[in-house]
A and B are shown apart, each in its own frame.
Chain A
C-alpha cells in the first residue's frame, strides 16, 4: 500500500516537480556516495601510506640496527639496545607510534614503555606463524585499535616493528571530512538552484505544451504559445503553434467540406501533409462524386422521364383500344404535353385501298397547318410522306418558311424544331407522328418518341385489327341476325302460303261436296255472255230430255217458251251489268212438254270485277207449277194461293261467285242439313229453321236417327237407308211432319260427300218444302173427289 501510495504520489507529481525531485535525489545520492567513497579511499590511502612509511621506517631502523651491530658485533646485546634507544624512543610519524624490537620469544627488547614486557601470546603466534616474516596485524587493545607492523630479521633473530594506533593513522582523514561535507552541501545547493533555474522555464513550456496538446487531444483548438526559447522546446512550441494553426486551417477546411463548400481554398501544410492531402483528395473525390452524382441524377431523371413516360403511354395505349380516334387524340395530346412541345399531329397509314395508300391525319394537337386541312397525305409527299416511306426519324432544327406555324394569342411563330417519327413495327409502317416545338429536342426525347412510336405502332396495329375484327364480327353477327330474320320471314311466308293452300284445298273439298250436292239436287249449267248453255248437268239434260252433248252450246232462248224469249234478252243485259237474275223460267223440253224452273242466274266476278262466268241453277218446279196451273184453272183462290206460293218459293238466293252463288241459292231455297257419318247433325241452315220451326241449337249436335220419323217407325228401313248413304249412294225421300199444327211436306235429297279418295266424309241433305204442292195436290184430290161426288150425285 505504501508503495502504491508512493507510486501514486510520484505519478501525480507534475513534470517539473518530478524533474526537481529526481535531480535533487540524484545529486544528493551522488554526492553522498562520492563522499563516502572518497572518505574510504582517503582512509585506505592513509593506511597504505602509513604502512609504506612504516615499512620504510622499519627498513631504516634495520639499517640502523645493522650499523649498530657492525660496530659492536656479536649480536644484539645490551649495548646495542642501549645504543639503539635513541632511535626507538621517538615516535616515527605520529605521536605514539613507537618502534619496538621483539625477541624471538616475544619479549619486548626495546620499547619506550613496554621493555621487557611480553607481547600478548596470541599476537605473537600470529606474527611468528607468518612465513613471510613481515606484515601487519590489527590488534584490539584497550586504547583502541592498533596496527602492529613487524619484520623478522633473521641475522639477529629479532622482530623489528612499530605499533601505530589506528586513530592516528586516520586522524587527518577525519579532520578533512567535515569540510568535505560542507563543500558537498554547498555544491548540492548550488547545483540544485542552477537546475531549478534551468528547469523552471522548460517545465513551464512543457506545461503549456502539455495543456495545448491536452486541449488538442480533447479536440479543441490549441492556443498559440509564445516562443520563449530558441532551444528544442522553442522549436516544439513553434511546431506546436504551426500544428495548431495547421489544424485550425485544416479543420476550417474540413468544416467547409462538411458544409459542402468544395471550392474552399486550402493549402496543405506541406507536401507531405497527410491529413491535408487526404482532405484535398477527399475534396477531389467529393467533387468527382458530386459531378458523378449530378451526372447520375441527370441520367436518373432522364431514365425516370423515359420510364414514367413509357408507363404513362403504356396506360394510354391500353385504354381506348377500341376507338382509334380517341386513342390517337389521347396519344397526341399526351405526347405533346410530355415533351413540353407545342403542337403535334398523328397520321395513320391507311392502305385499305391498296391502289391509293395514304396517310390520314387522325388527331391533331394545336395543329395549325393550312396544308393539312385536307387531312390526307400521299406517301412520299412532304416531310411526313417521306418519313413514312423512309421509315426514319426526321429531326429539323431549321424549318422551311411557312411549313408550319404555332399560333397563340400573341400571333404566329415558326417553331424552332420539328420532329417527325415513323410509327413502325418491325419495319412495317403504321403511321407518322409529327411534333413541333419552340425548344430543341434532346437525344433522349427523340429516342423516347421513337420508342413510344413502336408501342403506338403496335397498338395501332392491334387496335386496327381489333376494330376490323369487331367490325367483321358485328357484320357477320348482323348478317346472321338478318339471315335469321329473313329466314323467319321466309318461313312465315311459306307458312302463309301453305296455310292458304290448305285453306283453299279445304274449300275446294267443301265446294266439290256442295257442287256434287247441287249437281245431284238441282239443275245446273253455265252460260256464256250470249246465254249459250255449256256444261249442263244430268238433271238439266234429263229434265229437257236431251242427251247432254246436244244441250251443249244451245242458246237459252232456244229452249224457253216463246213468252220468255224477251225476258232472256233482258236477263242477258242485266247479267252483263253484273246483276243476278232470279225467277221462274218456262222451258219447253224435247217432247214439247212444259218445264218450269225456279232459276237463279248469277254472274261471278274475277278480281278486277270483270265477269268470270255465269252460273245457272234451277229447280224443277214443273210439278207444282203444273198443279198450280191446274189449280188456277180450277180455282181462283188456288191461283191466289199460287201467287203466294210463288213468292214463298223464291228460294235460292244468288251467288256472287260460282260457288257462293250456288250456296246462296241453295241456302235460301233448300233446307240444308249437314250430317256426320255418325249421324250427328252438325249444321242446319236458316231455311231449315224457318221451315221446320226448330231452332238451330235444338237440332245441331243431335243425331239424325233420333229426330227422323222413319227411324222411329221402321228402324230397319232407316238402317238400310243410312247404310246406302254411307256406301255413297244418294237417297231421295219425301216425308211430312206437323209444324205448329200445319202439316209440312219435305222432299229430301241425301247426298254423301266424298273426299279425294272417294271416302264418304259427311252427308248433306238438301230438302225442298213441297207442302204447297202437296196441299194443292190434296186440294185437287179433294176437289176431284168432290167433283166425283157431284158426278155421282148427278148421276144419281
Chain B
C-alpha cells in the first residue's frame, strides 16, 4: 500500500483534528513507512484509516501506538554508557540530587540500565528518575520491567561490557552478578527487573511535540536517544530548545549514536564525546 504525500497530509490532519496528537513535524519518510505498515497490517486504505480514526478515539490511540517506534535495549550502544560512566555521571558526584529525564523511554530498558549504572557508581540514592513516552503501552511494559529473555541475550553482553568491564582498563573486571538487578527465567523466557529498580522511576505519558516539561524540576541529565530522528528539523530544534531550557547549567543532554544538534541550538551546548553540555 503506497502512501502519497497527500495521503500522509490527510492522515496527519485527521490525527490533529480528532486526537491530541500532532505529527505534522515528524519526518515524512519515516512516518510514511509506518503508515504504510499500519495499512498493510490492517488491510486498510488511507480513507478507511482516516474514517476509523474519526470514529474511534481508541482506534486513533492504537494507531498512534503502532506508528511510533519503540526500539531500545539494555545498555544500548555500550560506548555511550562508557561515556556516561567515565565522563558524564562523575560530574554530578557532588550534587545533592541528580535529576534524570529519559524522554522517549520506550519499554524502559534504558531507564533500568541507567539505574543499574547509578547503583554501581553509588549514585542511585541521589538520583531521581523521570521517564516519559508517547505510548502508554510501552510505559506499562516499562513499569513492569519484564523482558523477553531469548531475543535479548545481547543485553547481557552489553551489561558485561558496561558494568563488568572497563574499556579504559581491560584488566579490571567487576564480577557483578545479574541477579543483583534482575532475575532470568529461561523456562518462562523472561528477564525481570528487581523491585527496588521498578519502583524508583516516575513514568509519565508525554508528548515531546507539545507537552513541555511535565515535572516541576530541572534536570542534570536528559536522555533522548533515537527519538529526534523521527522529527523534522523544525521539531528537532523545538525539542532542543525544550531540553536546553529545562537543563541545569552544565546539565547534559544525551542523544542517540547518530543524532547531533545542528542549527541554532548547537552553539548553546558544549560537546563532550556524544554528550551535549549546556553552556
Stretch at the interface among A38-46, A500-508, A620-628: A500-508
Q: Any chain A CB within 8 A of the CB of B5?
A: no
Q: Among B33, B80, B256, B261, which residue has its beta carbon within 8 angstroms of that of A495?
A: B33
Interface set, chain B 64-123, CB cutoff 8 A to A: 69-71, 79-80, 82-83, 87
Of B174-182, B201-209, B267-275, the one with at least 4 CB within 8 A of chain A: B267-275
Cα–Cα distance between A664 and B266 once the two chains are bound (Å): 7
* Contact indicator B71/A498 (Cβ below 8 Å): no
Q: What sequence of 0s and 1s flags, for each residue 636-655 of chain A, a beta carbon within 8 Å of any chain B beta carbon?
A: 00000000000000000101
Residue numbers in B under 8 Å from A655 (CB-CB): 266
Closest CB-CB distance, B271 to chain A, in whole Å? 4
B272 and A609 contacting across the interface, CB-CB below 8 Å = yes
How far, in whole Å, are A482 and B148 apart by their CA atoms in the complex?
A: 9
Contact B273 A605, beta carbon cutoff 8 Å: yes
Query: A710 at the A/B interface (Cβ < 8 Å)?
Result: no
Q: Are B229 and A660 in contact (CB under 8 A)?
A: no
A663 vs B240: C-alpha distance in the bound complex, in angstroms? 16
Contacting pair A511 B262 (CB below 8 A): yes
Contact of B226 among A496, A511, A656, A659 (CB under 8 A): A496
Whole-angstrom CA separation of A38 from B152 in the bound complex: 159
**Contacts known (A502-B27, A663-B266); A496 close to B271, Cβ less than 8 A:** no
Q: Which of A64-72, A322-330, A453-461, A484-492 contacts B (4 or more CB under 8 A)?
A: A484-492
- Inter-subunit contact A495/B270 (CB<8 Å): no
Report which of B71, B82, B260, B267 forms a contact with A668, defined as CB distance below 8 A: B267
Return chain B residues, CB-CB under 8 Å to A489.
Answer: 71, 151
Interface size on A, residues (CB 8 A): 36
Taking CB atoms, residues of chain B closer than 8 Å to A122 are none
How many whole Å from B233's CB to the nearest CB in chain A? 8
Q: Mark each residue of chain A from 653 to 684: 1 if its CB lies under 8 Å from any CB of chain B, else 0.
A: 10111011001100110000000000000000
Nearest residue, chain B, Cβ from A672: B264
- Tell me whether A570 is interfacial, beta carbon within 8 Å: no
| A272 CB within 8 Å of chain B | no
Q: Closest Cβ of chain B: how far from A495's Cβ, in Å?
A: 5
A56 interface residue (CB < 8 Å to B): no
CB nearest to B275 among chain A residues: A609
- B34 is an interface residue with CB less than 8 A from chain A: yes
Q: Any chain B CB within 8 A of the CB of A510?
A: yes
* Distance between Cα atoms of A660 and B255 in the complex (Å): 15
- What is the size, in residues, of chain B's interface with A at 8 Å between Cβ atoms? 39
Q: For the complex, what is the distance from the CA of A278 to the CA of B70, rounded to whole Å?
A: 103
Residues in A neighbouring B82, C-beta threshold 8 A: 608
Q: How far is the CB of B125 from chain A (nearest CB, A)?
A: 28
A493 contacts partner chain B, Cβ-Cβ < 8 Å: yes
Nearest chain-B residue to A656 (Cβ)? B271
The residues of A that contact B79 with a CB separation of less than 8 Å are 607-608
CB-CB < 8 A to A504: which residues of B?
A: 258
Residues of A at the B interface (CB closer than 8 Å) are 482, 485-486, 489, 491-493, 495-496, 498-500, 502-504, 506-507, 510-511, 605-609, 653, 655-657, 659-660, 663-664, 667-668, 685-686
B residues apposed to A, CB below 8 Å: 27, 29-30, 33-34, 37, 69-71, 79-80, 82-83, 87, 148, 150-151, 226, 228-230, 233, 256-264, 266-267, 269-274
Given known contacts A499-B229, A667-B266, what 17 new A-B pairs fall within 8 Å (CB)? A491-B37, A492-B69, A495-B34, A496-B229, A498-B30, A499-B29, A499-B230, A502-B29, A503-B229, A607-B79, A655-B266, A656-B270, A657-B260, A659-B262, A664-B266, A668-B267, A685-B264
Q: List 30 A-B contacts (CB under 8 A).
A: A482-B148, A482-B151, A489-B71, A489-B151, A495-B30, A495-B33, A498-B29, A499-B27, A499-B229, A500-B256, A502-B27, A503-B27, A503-B229, A510-B262, A511-B262, A605-B273, A606-B273, A607-B257, A607-B273, A608-B79, A608-B82, A608-B273, A609-B272, A657-B271, A660-B260, A660-B271, A663-B262, A664-B267, A667-B264, A686-B264
**Closest 6 pairs between A and B when the two form their complex, measured CB to CB:** A656-B271, A499-B229, A499-B30, A503-B229, A609-B273, A500-B258
